[in-house]
Chains A and B, each alone.
Chain A
């Protein structure tokens, strides 16, 4: 499903040149749960942005579901994100002026194909993440765990091929972290959703199938969970 070869990402030039990814290879099969770990500044988020079609590598190739992403226009990459990729961020990234229901339904606004059962799908994913009773609340009225559940529901509602999670438990306490990771495990186990999760958290290692360590701009297999 994900085929990335010799990915390079360099920022700046001359003396300020910074090589973040140095010929990184990555293959993630459909239905896999992969954790990417690494120290701060190792390029984990950069990798996730490239995988999520938000950024372009300096060199290399990247195929998502057989599509050569690097040949796509900005418009087509946006469409790919709207239809195949679900993002979950450390800072939740919900829109404060929208309710939980509206936040979850937001991705439908940018899909080219109209969806007739938006309400049904919103309620279904809200039930899946345990947010059915909070649909009319705004993010300011939610706890950190509830906000992350909402963000996960927003990522799930379009039935994406892949969920990219950037330190989703980074802002949560240990109890809530356990709940959110359990939710990801359930999603992976029940729905077979492909998940690539970036984390510092050793807990993530336990629930993922495969752990990759990003160091010196390349990925190394760490072991199985």
Chain B
């Protein structure tokens, strides 16, 4: 062991005597490792954020989203007696299917608030109690809607924190707000969003900050386009079905799909989305990303490795006489092999460590500047480290074998 360490130390000393050359020869590995680590960290951050968002949607939930149909398609859909996503759909799913834990509905629109200082029409969201339960909504002040509010269509509302702030004295619990012909009583204020939970384009993962929440059904009255009697037929934005823990999610989604086809007479004016399937898709995308990433990493480390091999071959030629001297005083082929292999491995390991340092710094810098979620995981550090070690051993092997197999006499007489 002492002998091995002595030979490795000897190799290190040789490298330190050519600092600039050593530094230049590891630059390829540094860049390769830095690039890999940065890409892995950004990719991992993105993956975690995506999965986090999907998981917030609930892995036992099935989403039925209304599809916007173009003019002709809509006319055709209506001829087939499909009125779009409606409260009736939600009711029938609840009645006809087993293994349903809760059902929430949700409809988005806009309404002008009269007699306020607001210069825009806030988004109005009509929600059901089931929706509140599924998303576990909690108000910062006051209360949310009860089943009586929904059933009797109480003209009450809950304000997003941002909207409440903009409404000033009218943005408090107990205040009255007029929308169209309806006067709404503020019964609660939502907690301020944490900023990161921005509006999702995938599903109804909402930032409620600027929204006005009302009981489902009341929202249609604000525009004066419903007398309430036909509210069950008004097109919903979305239905969320939470399945019971014992229900197979894929099977449940298939049952919902079949029922929806019957209810809508085969008209595809809705879309069924499964967060579980989204996670699977994210996994598949991730695998493709990993293959691309692995290829880029492989190419960059291959280039770095070729650089190392090139410099090691030059070193072996330059130090031929030294190899002869070492052999003459008793070095075995194996000792020469170990020395040159140690040199290439030290070079790439140093490159790997520098690359890891640079990669972590760059990842953090990009994350901070671009506002992206970046996750530097242990494997993001370990993989480039092990890869650089392997590159050092692999690309250093041929020069080391060449050095070890030199004829000692020819090497001694090399000028």
Is the Cβ of A82 less than 8 Å from the Cβ of B17?
Answer: no
Residues in A neighbouring B326, C-beta threshold 8 A: 106, 110
Is the Cβ of A79 less than 8 Å from the Cβ of B328?
Answer: no
Residues in B neighbouring A89, C-beta threshold 8 A: 328, 412
Is the Cβ of A93 less than 8 Å from the Cβ of B412?
Answer: yes
Is the Cβ of B330 less than 8 Å from the Cβ of A95?
Answer: no
Identify which of A48-56, A121-129, A201-209 touches chain B: A48-56
8 Å CB contacts to A: which residues of B318-334? 321-322, 324-334
Identify which of B1-9, B77-85, B363-371 touches chain A: B1-9
When A49-B409, A97-B13, A109-B10 are in contact, do A54 and B329 touch as well, CB less than 8 Å? Answer: no
When A54-B408, A93-B325 are in contact, do A110 and B14 touch as well, CB less than 8 Å? Answer: no
Does B49 lie at the interface of the complex (its beta carbon under 8 Å from any beta carbon of A)?
A: no
Residues in A neighbouring B325, C-beta threshold 8 A: 93-95
Residues in B neighbouring A107, C-beta threshold 8 A: 329-330
Does B335 lie at the interface of the complex (its beta carbon under 8 Å from any beta carbon of A)?
A: yes
Q: Mark A109-138, 1 if CB is under 8 A from B, else 0.
A: 111101000000000000000000000000
Residues in B neighbouring A54, C-beta threshold 8 A: 327-328, 408-409, 412
Residues in B neighbouring A74, C-beta threshold 8 A: 332-333
Q: Between A and B, how many residue pairs show CB distances below 8 Å? A: 66
Complex Cα distance, B321 from A79, in Å, reads 20
Does A62 lie at the interface of the complex (its beta carbon under 8 Å from any beta carbon of B)?
A: no
Q: Mark B147-191, 1 if CB is under 8 A from A, else 0.
A: 000000000000000000000000000000000000000000000
Does A87 lie at the interface of the complex (its beta carbon under 8 Å from any beta carbon of B)?
A: yes
Total interface residues on B, CB under 8 Å, equals 25
Complex Cα distance, B330 from A32, in Å, reads 23
Does A81 lie at the interface of the complex (its beta carbon under 8 Å from any beta carbon of B)?
A: yes
Is the Cβ of A97 less than 8 Å from the Cβ of B329?
Answer: no
Complex Cα distance, B412 from A52, in Å, reads 13
Residues in B neighbouring A97, C-beta threshold 8 A: 13-14, 17
Does A101 lie at the interface of the complex (its beta carbon under 8 Å from any beta carbon of B)?
A: no
Is the Cβ of A110 less than 8 Å from the Cβ of B17?
Answer: no
Complex Cα distance, B331 from A110, in Å, reads 5
* Nearest-CB residue, chain A, relative to B331: A110
Report the minimal beta-carbon distance from B334 to chain A, rounded to whole angstroms: 7
When A95-B322, A109-B10 are in contact, do A87 and B329 touch as well, CB less than 8 Å? Answer: yes
Is the Cβ of B335 less than 8 Å from the Cβ of A110?
Answer: yes
* Nearest-CB residue, chain B, relative to A111: B330
Q: Mark B10-34, 1 if CB is under 8 A from A, else 0.
A: 1001100100000000000000000
Is the Cβ of B328 less than 8 Å from the Cβ of A52?
Answer: yes
Residues in B neighbouring A114, C-beta threshold 8 A: 2-3
* Nearest-CB residue, chain A, relative to B325: A93
Complex Cα distance, B335 from A89, in Å, reads 22
Complex Cα distance, B3 from A79, in Å, reads 13
Complex Cα distance, B329 from A154, in Å, reads 9
Is the Cβ of A79 less than 8 Å from the Cβ of B332?
Answer: yes
* Nearest-CB residue, chain B, relative to A94: B325
17 contacts between A and B (CB under 8 A): A54-B412, A55-B409, A75-B333, A75-B334, A78-B330, A78-B331, A78-B332, A78-B333, A81-B329, A81-B330, A82-B330, A87-B328, A87-B329, A93-B324, A95-B322, A110-B326, A114-B2
| For the complex of A and B, 5 pairs with smallest distance between CB atoms | A82-B330, A110-B330, A78-B332, A81-B330, A107-B329
